[in-house]
Structure 1
Amino acid sequence: MPHLWTPAARVISPRPPEPAPTESGARPAALLRGEFTARAAVRSARLLVTALGVYELELNGTVVGDHVLAPGWTSYRHRHRYQSFDVTALVHEGRNAWGAHLADGWYRGLLGFNGGTRDVYGEHTGLLAELRVEYTDGSADTVGTGDGWRWSPGPVLTAGLYEGEEYDARREQAGFSEPGFDDSAWQPVEILDFDTTVLFPADSPPVRRIQHLAPVSVTTSPTSRTILDFGQNLVGRLRIRVRGEAGRTVTLRHAEVLEDGELCTRPLRHATATDRYVLRGDPAGEEWEPRFTFHGFRYAEVEGWPGELDPADITAVVLHSDLRRTGWFSCSDDSLNRLHENVVWGMRGNFVDVPTDCPQRDERLGWTGDVQVFAPTAAFLYDVRDFLRSWLRDLAADQGDDERRIPPVFSPDIPVITPVPVPPGNPPMAGWCDAAVVVPWVLYERYGDTEVLRAQYPSMRAWVDAVDRIAGPARIWGEGFQFGDWLDPTAPADDPGRAMTASTLVATAYFAHSARLLARTAGVLENEDDSGHYHALADAVRDAFIARFHAGGGRLTEETQTAYALALCFRLLEDDADRAEAGRRLAGLVAERAHRIGTGFLGTPLVCDALADTGHVGTAYRLLTQRSAPSWLRQVDMGATTVWERWDSMLPDGSVNPGEMTSFNHYALGAVADWIHRTVAGLAPAEPGYRRLLVRPLPGGGLTWARAAHDTPYGRAEVGWHREGGTLHVDVLVPPGVTALVELPGTDPMEIEPGRHSFWAPFPQPHGDARGSGSGRPSHRITGSPDQCKEHT
């Protein structure tokens, strides 16, 4: 990303001593203001702005833009994002004023788990803004933050991402961003040194207010507390309309679930997730929404409300990065539809500027393992190309340039001071660090983006080379602490990493996988020497895996669902007979667990593919549609509206898992949605960027119909099917400039051109795991031309 802004402005900061932090450690937000004169009629005005912290900027009394928590979170020491706004309509000839609210945000606020740490990136907040004004007479001026600006404490008494926000409306300073405001009681700002070479223009969609939800019920808890249920686990904050006496405090507490009828805050750990509003006593009523925090919640407890609460006076404001929706799925099973919707809501809540693990407790970090497994699902549901490219730039920057070049387990990286399940020293972590290779490759597959491969290639190669050094000539690695198949269903509540599958098998499988993807990347980039080298390395690791973990005849030394899923999906078993036996053994293991899940973070995204690819489609469907714990639909049956972190985040009796780490909004286990899109509906890319589609629905699970749509780089693609007796009807939309390979059960593959197509094929009532082989061509009718297709898109 080119460096485009070398500001003449300076970073300004509230001059110490600032107001002392509260008991929780959260600090207040400051107000800053300045004035300038536009000496002629204004033709255009552009504002460039960023902050050490988070800001909301006003110009002549009007808030600039609709971004939330700007400038967002990046690896600030390497890449500090700024925004650019056209503010021509807000600047006028003569005297003008601008001002800002400035809070800690990610820059200086609490980050991390188990108490976390503050001041990760700096000890002082700051604002950097520059206004470039062009006049109708052809002249121009540039004004910016610097000497002459002043600051004051404001109405935001405390603001923390984990803690919440406290706002005293009696301390508002109306008109502070308008010319002529009396700031004589305000204090001069301090000028901070700042390395402007790390500035870069915003390269990812901003966080915005996306949706508003009304409460579906208001109830009284057993302890007489007022609780609102919004019917959906969401990420955002509350907007209230209230009328009452000055000085009254309304307190809003947030949580994802109830336990024994009360707000369950234990899973939040040290995140208090509490907002407070002190009324100014306006007889016309007051409206308020926090500026500088967000919460993960379905339920909110309201305390101190004046008079009777009208549910219409409280609204949940949904926040996330403003990504364009690109993928949809529906089917005849309402539970599967709810599961898919849970995946969508989980992604929305965890794509808040960075791809986080969870949005509610004291963590909310860009864990690499989570997005590594979820990236294919994300790229189908939303346009995440710019979002993940920006995150990958941070990951590469955090990877550093020392001789180890090991990606962090979360990015933006932060130091971990308190005891956590991560050893010190940024250890190499299989499946997590592999995001450096896997995520760029997913972006290439789904968007045809060779530039992301080119940009990330040094990072990708550095990670594979690092594992090569660690594994040594034996090509086996993973000894010592590894996350491994994190949170498999047998893991104890207090030991989430104690998985059934050995970490050495998991790590070595990922070594082979990343080496192979790197070899393919080198081939795409026409680096034949590297391609040959890394293909040879991948072959050597595969051979080492077979020597260590293959017991012969397709069986593995590790008899677990995850072991077989990794070996099959990463093609570590290549002999057809071995793959067939491994598939049979995997299906047997699933059946032995009564078709219940036996996989964690790394096995779950692969297990249905491993079954379907070896002919066990029926078993895959029984696993997907299982309703006994542990399973996806058990969560749905228990009222989940997002995907849980643990298979048993909530226990059968309705109590919350006693483990210290329990979230009801993690997307990792929702990565199965990618299989649902590709296999249940049958819509997948056959070539990078969907230049060629693969239409291969594999009906099962008692479904009578399913359909999916995806906005590819070439336009809308659709696949829909339904069963009528012994006939399968399939409708396909192929966008302009694209071809599709159609493979229907029991028929020969065929190529089709752009347009709408319909197919009919014999399809007896499915039973067992038989997939059938091609024995003929389906009936085929073209029902739309490429031009009609273009109109549809």
Structure 2
Amino acid sequence: MSIIITKVSFEHYEPGAALGIATPRISWRFGGDAENWEQASYEIAISRSGQSNSFKVESSDSVLVPWPDKPLTSRERASISVTAHGKDGSSAAAQVNVEAALLQPADWTAQAVSRPTYPDNVAKRPCLLRRRFALETLPKTARLYITAMGLYEATLNGQRIGDHVLAPGWQSYSYRLAYQVFDVAPLLKEGTNELCAWVGEGWWAGRLGFHTGARDIWGTRPALVAQLEAEGKVLAQTDDGWEWAEGPIVGSELYDGEAFDTTLSLTAFKPAEVLPRPLHLVAPQAPPVRRTAHIPASEIIITPSGKTIVDFGQNLVGWLRWNNQVDGTGTVTIRHAEVLEHGELGTRPLRFADATDTVVLGGKTEGHEPKFTFHGFRYAEVTGFPRAVEKDDFTAVVVHSDFERTAHFESSHKELNQLYSNVVWGLRGNFVSVPTDCPQRDERLGWTADLMAFAPTASMIYDVNGLLSEWLGDVAAEQLDYGKGRPPFVVPNIPLPGQARTDTPPPVAVWSDVTTITPLDIYTTTGDVSLLRDQWRSMKAWIDEGIPRTDAGLWKRVFQFGDWLDPRAPPEDAANGMTDPTLVADAYLIHSVRIAAKVALVLGQEEDQRRYESEAARLLDAFQAEYVSPKGRITSDSQCAYVLALQFRLAKSEEQAEFWAATLERLVRQGIFKVGTGFASTPFVLLALAAHGRLQVAYRMLQEGECPSWLYQVKMGATTMWERWNSMLPSGEINPGEMTSFNHYAFGSVGAFLHQVIGGIRALEPGWKRIAIHPRPGGTLTDAATSFTTPYGEVSCRWVLKGERTRIEATVVVPPNTTAELMIGDQKLAVGSGTHRVEGVWKDESEWPPQPISYFHFPGDEKKSTFVP
């Protein structure tokens, strides 16, 4: 039996990243097959500036333990050795090097530089900025600290610096601007050196928002900030010695695409202009955007109109790479889209985003990629190509924030496996620097409700915690700055139609409840109390100041999005669903107040805890009086109403909860197991059914194949999650509604059911120190396997049903330094780390398949449901 440390990390930084915190908390993750292994103590040895100090602590803690030494200083490097000692006398050790970034504003001497003039309110052509400097001798170490107001791609002596793309990403620029740190010593040379960077408008000055949108939201001048240091000396920095020129990138916009002319060379360089440096430069914990995959073309399609379309077989986010030298003249135009309609490129869902790249031929094409745009697409229509397009002419380059993959799921059900793949790809496409609603049309914004719905699933599949912690900080900053406790609908905040960016946002439930719900979700995954502490003002401001209340404390009747995209809402009015929007708002209000009470307990805020607990009790009474009949019927007789009432524990008794569960079951059976929920309630519908004795009903809904359902999308060939349940109609036509994205992760929140119920894995306490493993087979599934890399190491459960579904056999892996409660069939065990093989008696919880309720039966009715066995 062995125990090893597989990873040492600092705060939520990716390995090797420069740290922007002087006293970073330290975590270490375990591997190995040691049984019942528990840490008794740990020792951290820190070597810095030629001195070593060792700190031994008697504790089982191994996640986010305090930095034991004096604070790091700017640019300081240290070697950290961690040794974990087990109660059984064994030990494991690991060593890593760390480096501090620039921790103080005074560390920066660079200014910002830009070309002298940019026209306002139009697209900005990218330019190349450069600085030449001389070196007599080569330094042993050199660091480049660099960012842009806009986007940049840098080179040193003609060699690309780093592997980031779309750097420095998108933040709420009024409060922070991320910078990157690169080791550039290998790129330096004796004599004349040349530091260059292409700079584009990006999110800083580019067009953002619906239709024509808005430009120049944060500034009119894309600019570069760079500081190259070696051994305590600044070798080059952005100042009045820089020059600029234009080149073959004629235009590059996020929505509209990039225009590149291979026949153009750089213009003559001219002096650049110095601008003030941004004040809030930070070294981010969020991982950078990188190229994460390369997808070959799967098919060349000739459309009915004779157009050439390259199909990559997967809806993705990124751009095309030209693999070959293409000789000829003229302009090649590449249009991108997610779907085909009537055999042609389906561009209507893009609205006012052109999503078009052009390349003028006559020069080098091999290896060409766009720099400062990205597209959401599966299909690329190519016109103007001088010969027939072949599959090896282009590769699709996948880009997104490059976080660590932490969860996997597979089962005996082929369509469920494809659904899970769709959830994963939807996540990848919508985490390009910030969590967005969609990656393809004239939007791509950080909508708060979408993330709130999806965060529990996202934080399992990838380690999104550093990114979401920083994004939630932006949510709080925007919210607290504009007063009245209300966060914007989208973060980073841009002007939406009819609003200025600095207007106080309207009060809207669900979207604004991201301030309370999502910090708790991330805390559950990470156990990071500091996140709750950082978001506490934001939580309180929303509950105490942001909500217009009646005398009873409930919501006043104001505009609400409600259960957005309820499948019965008409295409032109996505908020007009089956459930009273104010009922939805009040259910979320009680949930948020209870969360605030729970967070107050964790933070030791006893007075707030008592206040919020008392408020929640009063609100529950008011909710019951407002929406619940004497016999228990909720006024909106909809799936959403009963799902939220059950999930948010709004019942006054077990009998009432059972009545609600039975009513929800009735509604699901009457609906022939089709989904009847939108953004506000879909994350919980299957979980609520399973938690209240309706497991097979949940499985039957999950396995439904007719629209609206999860597997309808799979049957229609989806490879990502859709915005609408019927984004593509059964006829193969695109939904006529204006909002018809084919890559929207909100309904991918079903991943929580796959992980927690089918896979059976969930945290018993925040941070996964104690784990529950209770797989609940159902439907036609005969086996499944789920894994998750917890902060302590990997937990997994692989189960199979045998003996005509009378026995369940499971292989469970519990990570070191944790304990787990297993429920495998009729076997209940408390175990420590290691691999455990358990067999139990299994009995399906109810009949399969559950039957629909039909009050009127006509010949052919049975064909209205397709259940995917």
* Equivalent residue, structure 2, for 1:781: none
* Equivalent residue, structure 1, for 2:414: 334
Q: CA deviation at 1:70?
A: 0.5
1:732 maps onto 2:825 in alignment: no
Q: Deviation per CA, 1:557-579: give whole Å up to 9, x if none.
A: 22111111111111111411111
On the 8 A contact 1:5/1:200 being kept in 2, the answer is no
Q: Where does 1:436-515 land on structure 2 (aligned, <5 Å)?
A: 436-467=515-546, 470-477=548-555, 479-515=557-593
Which residue type is aligned with residue 154 of structure 1?
G
Q: CA deviation at 1:765?
A: 5.1
* Equivalent residue, structure 2, for 1:114: 211
* Equivalent residue, structure 2, for 1:30: 127
* Equivalent residue, structure 2, for 1:759: 838
Which residue of the other structure, out of 32, 35, 45, is the alignment partner of 2:142?
Answer: 45
Which residue of the other structure, out of 215, 220, 223, is the alignment partner of 2:297?
Answer: 215
Judging changes above 3 Å, is the alpha-carbon distance between structure 1 residues 423 and 13 closer, same or farther for their aligned structure 2 residues? closer
Length-normalised TM-score, structure 2 = 0.84
The alignment's C-alpha RMSD in Å is 2.0
Which residue type is aligned with residue 271 of structure 2?
P
2:104 and 2:480 mapped to 1: Cα distance?
23
* Equivalent residue, structure 1, for 2:466: 386
What secondary structure is seen at the aligned counterpart in 1 of 2:142?
A: strand
On the 8 A contact 2:131/2:236 being kept in 1, the answer is no
Q: Deviation per CA, 1:604-629: give whole Å up to 9, x if none.
A: 11111111111011111111111111
What secondary structure is seen at the aligned counterpart in 2 of 1:578?
A: helix
1:475 and 1:696 mapped to 2: Cα distance?
39
Q: Where does 1:362-377 land on structure 2 (aligned, <5 Å)?
A: 362-377=442-457
* Equivalent residue, structure 2, for 1:315: 395
1:581 maps onto 2:659 in alignment: yes
* Equivalent residue, structure 1, for 2:41: none
On the 8 A contact 1:478/1:507 being kept in 2, the answer is no
* Equivalent residue, structure 1, for 2:112: 11
Which residue type is aligned with residue 266 of structure 1?
R
1:423 and 1:765 mapped to 2: Cα distance?
56
1:273 maps onto 2:330 in alignment: no
Q: CA deviation at 1:477?
A: 0.8
* Equivalent residue, structure 2, for 1:78: 175
Q: CA deviation at 1:340?
A: 0.6
2:585 and 2:679 mapped to 1: Cα distance?
13
On the 8 A contact 2:312/2:396 being kept in 1, the answer is yes
1:311 and 1:403 mapped to 2: Cα distance?
54
On the 8 A contact 2:824/2:838 being kept in 1, the answer is no
Q: CA deviation at 1:764?
A: 3.5
Q: CA deviation at 1:418?
A: 5.9
Judging changes above 3 Å, is the alpha-carbon distance between structure 1 residues 62 and 659 closer, same or farther for their aligned structure 2 residues? same
Judging changes above 3 Å, is the alpha-carbon distance between structure 1 residues 408 and 418 closer, same or farther for their aligned structure 2 residues? closer
Which residue of the other structure, out of 399, 410, 425, is the alignment partner of 1:345?
Answer: 425
Which residue type is aligned with residue 104 of structure 1?
E
* Equivalent residue, structure 1, for 2:273: 190
2:494 and 2:769 mapped to 1: Cα distance?
39
Q: CA deviation at 1:246?
A: 5.7
1:535 and 1:679 mapped to 2: Cα distance?
30
What secondary structure is seen at the aligned counterpart in 1 of 2:558?
A: coil
* Equivalent residue, structure 2, for 1:607: 685
1:293 maps onto 2:378 in alignment: no
Structure 2: gaps spanning 5 or more residues: 1-19, 22-102, 851-869
What secondary structure is seen at the aligned counterpart in 2 of 1:306?
A: coil
What secondary structure is seen at the aligned counterpart in 2 of 1:286?
A: coil
* Equivalent residue, structure 1, for 2:63: none
Taking only the aligned residue pairs, the percentage that are identical comes to 45
2:848 and 2:680 mapped to 1: Cα distance?
24
On the 8 A contact 1:554/1:579 being kept in 2, the answer is no
1:640 maps onto 2:741 in alignment: no
On the 8 A contact 2:482/2:502 being kept in 1, the answer is no
* Equivalent residue, structure 2, for 1:776: none
* Equivalent residue, structure 2, for 1:398: 478
What secondary structure is seen at the aligned counterpart in 2 of 1:731?
A: strand
1:703 maps onto 2:785 in alignment: no
1:127 maps onto 2:224 in alignment: yes
Q: CA deviation at 1:220?
A: 0.5
What secondary structure is seen at the aligned counterpart in 1 of 2:130?
A: strand
Name the structure where helix makes up a greater proportion of residues.
Answer: 1
On the 8 A contact 1:69/1:207 being kept in 2, the answer is yes
What secondary structure is seen at the aligned counterpart in 1 of 2:545?
A: helix
Judging changes above 3 Å, is the alpha-carbon distance between structure 1 residues 478 and 92 closer, same or farther for their aligned structure 2 residues? farther
Q: Deviation per CA, 1:392-438: give whole Å up to 9, x if none.
A: 11111111335402111110001124699x99741121111111111
1:425 and 1:527 mapped to 2: Cα distance?
29
1:201 maps onto 2:283 in alignment: yes
Q: CA deviation at 1:645?
A: 0.3
Q: Where does 1:766-785 land on structure 2 (aligned, <5 Å)?
A: 767-768=846-847
* Equivalent residue, structure 1, for 2:53: none
Q: Deviation per CA, 1:169-209: give whole Å up to 9, x if none.
A: 22234xxxxxxxxx8x322111112442x111122100000
1:281 and 1:372 mapped to 2: Cα distance?
48
1:146 maps onto 2:239 in alignment: yes
* Equivalent residue, structure 2, for 1:434: 513
Deviates more, 1:301-310 or 1:587-596: 301-310
What secondary structure is seen at the aligned counterpart in 2 of 1:391?
A: helix
1:653 maps onto 2:653 in alignment: no
On the 8 A contact 1:111/1:363 being kept in 2, the answer is yes
Which residue type is aligned with residue 287 of structure 1?
G
Which residue type is aligned with residue 229 of structure 2?
R
2:393 and 2:485 mapped to 1: Cα distance?
52
1:26 and 1:770 mapped to 2: Cα distance?
57
Runs of 4+ in 1 over 6 A off after TM superposition: none
1:402 and 1:125 mapped to 2: Cα distance?
26
Q: Deviation per CA, 1:672-726: give whole Å up to 9, x if none.
A: 1101110011111111111111111111111101110000011010112111121
2:821 and 2:630 mapped to 1: Cα distance?
35
Judging changes above 3 Å, is the alpha-carbon distance between structure 1 residues 313 and 193 closer, same or farther for their aligned structure 2 residues? same
Which residue type is aligned with residue 445 of structure 1?
T
1:297 and 1:195 mapped to 2: Cα distance?
35
* Equivalent residue, structure 2, for 1:178: none
Q: CA deviation at 1:39?
A: 4.0
Q: Deviation per CA, 1:70-114: give whole Å up to 9, x if none.
A: 110000011111111111111233321111111000000010112
Q: CA deviation at 1:509?
A: 0.7
On the 8 A contact 2:210/2:497 being kept in 1, the answer is no
1:626 and 1:419 mapped to 2: Cα distance?
41
Which residue type is aligned with residue 456 of structure 1?
Q
* Equivalent residue, structure 2, for 1:786: none
On the 8 A contact 2:225/2:277 being kept in 1, the answer is no
Q: CA deviation at 1:286?
A: 2.8
Which residue type is aligned with residue 458 of structure 1?
R
On the 8 A contact 2:695/2:845 being kept in 1, the answer is no
* Equivalent residue, structure 2, for 1:254: 336
* Equivalent residue, structure 2, for 1:407: 487
Which residue type is aligned with residue 46 of structure 1?
R
Which residue of the other structure, out of 771, 788, 809, is the alignment partner of 1:693?
Answer: 771
Judging changes above 3 Å, is the alpha-carbon distance between structure 1 residues 673 and 234 closer, same or farther for their aligned structure 2 residues? same
* Equivalent residue, structure 2, for 1:555: 633
